[in-house]
Amino acid sequence: MDRFVNTPKDVELLVKYDIVENWLGDNSEVSTLINKLGKGVTISIAMTCFATVVRELNSHCGTCWNKWKANLSQHYFNTPWATISVIAAVLLLILTCIQAVCSIISVMPSKNQKY
């Protein structure tokens, strides 16, 4: 359990999905309790029943694409306003490019035009 619970937010998720019951009242106390339970105990990950889960989780988190998606969602899409501002910025960039292309096309002489 110590590998899965590091912060009070982890305990909050475990309580939310009825995996753990919190009788201590505070999520930080539960996370501290769980983290202290494993102190001084060494267990081979390969011998636990969670070995395949740990392997799959590490391979999932190790790919660049998943790291980029997590970084984007944590830093740029963490609130609805941030998402709206990123979409607006991308839209403005696209419209600016379209305007630049249209300006270049209007300045270029046509084939029928003679000097």
pTM above threshold 0.75 = no
Domains of the chain, residue spans: 79-108
Contacts of 14 (CB under 8 A, 6+ apart): 4, 5, 20
What band does 91 get if pLDDT is binned at 50, 70 and 90?
very high
Between 101 and 52, name the one with better pLDDT. 101
Radius of gyration of the chain (CA): 26
pLDDT in tens, 55-88: 888 898 889 999 998 888 888 888 889 889 989 9
pLDDT at 115: 56
14 close to 20: Cβ distance less than 8 angstroms: yes
Taking the C-alpha atoms of residue 105 and residue 78, their distance in angstroms, rounded to an integer, is 40
